[in-house]
Amino acid sequence: MKLWSKETTTTTALIEKFTVGRDREFDLLLAPFDVKGSIAHVTMLGENGMMTKDEADKAVAELKNILQEIESGKFSIDEGAEDIHSQVEFMLTQRIGDTGKMIHSGRSRNDQVAVDIKLFLRSILHDVKEDVLGLFDLLIEKSELHKNTLIPGYTHLQIAMPSSIGLWLGAYAESLVDDMEFLSAAWNISNKNPLGSGAGYGSSFPLNRTRTTELLNFQTLNFNSIYAQMSRGKTEKMASTAIASVASTLGRLSMDCCLFMNQNFGFIFFPDELTTGSSIMPHKKNPDVFELIRAKCSRIQAAPNELSLLINNLPSGYHRDMQLTKEILFPAINELRSCIDAMKLMLSSISVRENILQDEKYKYLFSVEAVNELVNMGIPFRDAYAQIGNQINKGEFNYDTTKPLKHTHEGSISNLCNDKIKVEMEEVASKIKHH
């Protein structure tokens, strides 16, 4: 069942298996969007006189029935079908006769799959946005809850200055704001209509691409028909860059959690049921979830590079290489969403140790506080720095670690600015809409 079949074919079973690859598997994800694209195209053909109103109405009605079957889980792609486009057209022709053969006028499978992927990515990136917002809200909640719990801050993995659980978790919340900027950019690129570009060079039929853009709720068109095809691969790469950005934030947070729940740190704890044990060491509480999030997110961050290698140095126009973008990007998106879910589960159950900085080993965290106190007394900074440095070198440095810390500037321990970070997130997330 091939849309390009003529009276004879030389395709062997081996070639068919090789060229189809995993398309049927990933095309099931595209199925509802393929039908929606066909409904818009057929509606336009009926309005332009390329199909009669009755023919277009009949085709649209049955396409809506097929869409309902897809959404109810009753749809499958036959083993003999080459792809989702072939399956839908074959089903339509079986049900309404020769009218089903008319719906491909002015289209190529090239622009069909391009519009399917744009619609799919526009939808799934909205879902990822909602996932990220859920994690963001949790991070802000925990940041506020533990804003007064002090922990060491590190540079070069050496103790540096006092930090707090609130400051730490709020940092990752704000990181997600920048990640959302990437998601918004990818969503915008996905929100452009390539339908009507055909095989990449338009059509002699009087297609109304503005009309299909309206019917599919795209923001605008990919105007140039060649670029509409060239956007294939580039759109997927942009989406992969966005999810890789989120993955980077999750991977780094996971690494922190692995360190901070280590017995040598002991800042945070998780219930036994969220950690794993050892087959020979009964005391172990391993951070397997965080380790797997870290590993999976490292793999997700490889997706943009894979897509770059796939599409780099291709000439303009469509190439079958593009078929492989689906099997790089679609599983990566699914993996990221599972990592976000796992991170939310873990952070929902986080416990924090109090009075961490009372430990003698953290006394040098307060060296900057001591320097600043001298500066506030009128001593020049460099002289104050030398004075405290000499005390440390001689083993004479002491500081009252029970004194309250007053860091009041924006984004410091006592002024997290979580309310402002929330406003920024709301603003950027609002750009990614549901269609």
Best CA proximity match to 256, nearest among 154, 147, 128? 154
Distance (Å, whole) CA 184 – CA 177: 10
> Quick one: pLDDT at residue 195?
97
Give residue-wise pLDDT tens across range 191-200: 999 999 999 9
Question: pLDDT band at 4, cuts 50/70/90?
Answer: very low
Instruction: Report how far residue 244's alpha carbon sits from residue 238's, in angstroms, rounded to the nearest whole number.
Output: 10
Handedness of CA 17, 22, 26, 30 (dihedral sign): negative
Q: Bigger pLDDT: 136 or 82? A: 136
For the residues 71-91, what does the mean pLDDT come to? Answer: 91
Cα(187)–Cα(181) distance, integer angstroms: 10
Residue with the bigger pLDDT between 239 and 401: it is 239
pTM for this model (two decimals): 0.93
Torsion sign, CA atoms 161, 165, 167, 170? positive
Identify the band that residue 278 occupies on the pLDDT scale cut at 50, 70 and 90: low
Instruction: Mean pLDDT check: name the lowest of 9-23, 93-107, 167-181, 405-419.
Output: 9-23
pLDDT at 11: 60
pLDDT greater than 50 at residue 165: yes
- The pLDDT, as a whole number, for residue 364 is 95
**E strand or H helix that includes residue 153:** strand 150-155
Q: Name the percent of the chain lying above pLDDT 90.
A: 86
> Average of pLDDT values for 119-132?
98
pLDDT digits (tens, 9 = 90+) for 291-317: 999 999 999 999 999 999 999 989 998
For range 218-238, the mean pLDDT: 96
Q: Is the pLDDT of residue 282 over 90?
A: no
pLDDT category, 385, cuts 50, 70, 90?
very high
For the chain, domains (ranges, CATH) are: 13-105 (1.10.275.10), 118-195+223-358+408-429 (1.20.200.10), 360-393 (no CATH)
CA distances from 135 to 129, 300, 358, 434 (A): 10, 18, 31, 19
Helices marked H in 97-207 — which ranges?
109-145, 165-190
Contact 166, 416 (CB under 8 A): yes
Residue 7 confidence (pLDDT) above 60: no
Q: Which pLDDT does position 3 carry in this prediction?
A: 53
